[in-house]
Structure 1
């Protein structure tokens, strides 16, 4: 069905679970015939510590990993189904589809593949709703990075006809979308977002994250460590590009620390990790997005006061705010994007941007797992 043949609003659920491994964001979205999006309901379902540990372990090769990944995918599907049930509580309408990103275990476009688990077939069985999943693979098959996936959505809902905007999503990995008044929409992963910050404070303080960046703010940036981390080849490369735990992880951080002569206090490392996220993001904007006037932040990092202050300080000529200023709560932008991406799939409309991913052309993304046909009574 072509998008132009639909004259009524439709309803979609979007599910997002990202590299932060914190939990599932679920939204119910109303999407109009021209692609306009309205957020109706939201729900956040945190991962149990045991599931988080299982998923983290699966990011590196281990014995019996195929079986372990399949079992984790089944557990995720049940968790996703619970999130869908809750977000649809008291909703009387019909949901066209669920857009489910899945949980990334490997993202290696240079080797021609990406892997997000979540057992979409089981999710369709548990919810009775059509599920769209595996959004990245088709773009990678066409020679692209398969990520980031959200710039097309940002262009749909956040682009301004007279103001050059950049949207920065700071999840486990940070990515940005360049929305010039004229010219191509571009986007790429700028480097680590919250992932290393969360891992470091978990190791030293036992917390899942640094609330408002308070621990980092109590420390002092170590210039030698910052310079060593900023020397990572990924940060020096040009887009299109995408990143994940393959490039930025605790082993890499530990190795960088071991190459420095002096011992560094853990709180100073946390402060320096904040500076790494802010500096890599600001550098990308200064280098690749000349003429930017406004920067809008979303994702978990938008709530980190220490981080947002450093981003604003490094970009003094820009107006910096969260996407709440544009009417979209920063916590739900990515989940909304996957509701919109599911709609694009069902309407046979391309949702990839070759200028973002480097693919050979636009592609319709996602694999469709249809809802079970209703039984006759």
Structure 2
């Protein structure tokens, strides 16, 4: 479907379990791509869904299939409510990431729940989803997928960094877009602050009261993942198997864990950014609201850190998954081999039409 304007609903659920992000976006193409976010909303998960999604990696394949169906129906209800409440009449497609249940690209496996065909029939709209599976089948990491949007929608910046469940970065090196996961962020911070009864550490105020434990910091910084070259990506399984046991073995206070881990994120992120001096860096994602974390990244970085509007901070991933869907409709490449390590660039995703 080749045309110059598309009205798209982008839908994203990330590993930090903040909720389901929805954004109605108008994309225009006139030699370059531009966009406008018309309306956006985050639907938070209730306690039941939070617990289900938090423990996805523990389920059998059969249990995951049941949850996939249940989550797809939940997603259909959330999207339908968004359409009805905002009286949205003109929709070219709904582009949904789903929610990652398993991500082991080294084993040829990635599984996002919420991408079943019933999503299209329940909402009565064209759905574009399941963006990762095809890339993994082509030998890629299936992640990150946002860099094509960074390249075509945010080309003014040398680096685009997202601080979500994981930190990831994309940039141009020798004329090629490359991207990779840097380290876990909110998936770790939120786990430990939840032990104190909080969903997140507001502005990093709790972390600020703690002390850095150098033994733990050194152990984290020595992890093999940080010495590997891109393309590379992280999943919850890696955090559960590798990172949490290291942190838990230190028997530290929650405040000291948070403070040490903030420093770890800042060190890993700035070490990536400092490979270019005086570069412009766009930082988005929920981690931006952790002002203490941001201050540590700025302190250790040699670059010009720029924070966009609150709307882009919160909805950039929903925006870009909407854009991936637009490229898929046009059968244009939305997945870059230079980013994921796949055999070739390709147009990824599945289209469910009525």
Partner of 2:326: 343
Paired with 2:343 and 2:153, the residues of 1 have a C-alpha distance of 25
**Is 1:314 equivalent to 2:300 in the alignment?**
yes
CA shift, 1:116, in A, is 0.4
Report the secondary structure of 2:75's partner residue. helix
Aligned partner (choices 120, 126, 139) of residue 130 of structure 1:
126
CA shift, 1:259, in A, is 5.0
Q: Number of paired residues?
A: 351
Paired with 1:231 and 1:247, the residues of 2 have a C-alpha distance of 15
**Is 1:364 equivalent to 2:347 in the alignment?**
yes
Aligned partner (choices 237, 240, 246) of residue 256 of structure 1:
246
Partner of 2:11: 15
Paired with 1:54 and 1:246, the residues of 2 have a C-alpha distance of 15
Partner of 1:298: 284
Aligned partner (choices 159, 171, 180) of residue 166 of structure 1:
159
Tell me: CA distance 1:36–1:254, structure 2 relative to 1, closer, same or farther (3 Å).
Answer: closer
Paired with 1:178 and 1:229, the residues of 2 have a C-alpha distance of 25
**Is 1:187 equivalent to 2:179 in the alignment?**
yes
Paired with 2:219 and 2:143, the residues of 1 have a C-alpha distance of 26
Paired with 1:55 and 1:318, the residues of 2 have a C-alpha distance of 36
1:77-156 to structure 2, matched below 5 A, reads 77-88=72-83, 89-156=85-152
Please give the root-mean-square deviation of Cα atoms over the aligned residues, in Å: 1.9
Report the secondary structure of 1:270's partner residue. helix
Tell me: CA distance 1:129–1:258, structure 2 relative to 1, closer, same or farther (3 Å).
Answer: closer
CA shift, 1:75, in A, is 3.1
CA shift, 1:135, in A, is 0.3
Report the secondary structure of 1:352's partner residue. coil
Partner of 1:375: none
**Is 1:272 equivalent to 2:264 in the alignment?**
no
**Is 1:226 equivalent to 2:217 in the alignment?**
yes
Report the secondary structure of 1:246's partner residue. helix
Paired with 1:335 and 1:246, the residues of 2 have a C-alpha distance of 24
Mind listing any 5+ residue stretches in structure 1 that lack a counterpart? Answer: 373-377
Paired with 1:257 and 1:328, the residues of 2 have a C-alpha distance of 34
Tell me: CA distance 1:366–1:254, structure 2 relative to 1, closer, same or farther (3 Å).
Answer: closer
CA shift, 1:224, in A, is 1.0
Paired with 1:356 and 1:48, the residues of 2 have a C-alpha distance of 35
Tell me: CA distance 1:131–1:258, structure 2 relative to 1, closer, same or farther (3 Å).
Answer: closer
TM-score, structure 2 as length reference:
0.93
Q: Which has the higher mean CA deviation after the structures are superposed, 327-336 or 264-273?
A: 327-336
2:160–2:169 contact (8 Å) kept in structure 1: yes
TM-score, structure 1 as length reference:
0.88
Paired with 1:190 and 1:229, the residues of 2 have a C-alpha distance of 13
**Is 1:157 equivalent to 2:153 in the alignment?**
yes
Paired with 2:79 and 2:248, the residues of 1 have a C-alpha distance of 45
CA shift, 1:253, in A, is 4.0
Tell me: CA distance 1:332–1:257, structure 2 relative to 1, closer, same or farther (3 Å).
Answer: closer
Partner of 2:192: 200
Report the secondary structure of 1:143's partner residue. coil
2:278–2:304 contact (8 Å) kept in structure 1: no
The Cα offsets for residues 254-273 of structure 1, whole Å up to 9 and x where unpaired, read as 4214655xx42221011111
The Cα offsets for residues 126-157 of structure 1, whole Å up to 9 and x where unpaired, read as 11011111101111111111100000001111
Aligned partner (choices 265, 269, 274) of residue 281 of structure 1:
269
1:147–1:242 contact (8 Å) kept in structure 2: yes
**Is 1:175 equivalent to 2:168 in the alignment?**
yes
2:69–2:116 contact (8 Å) kept in structure 1: no
Partner of 1:74: 69
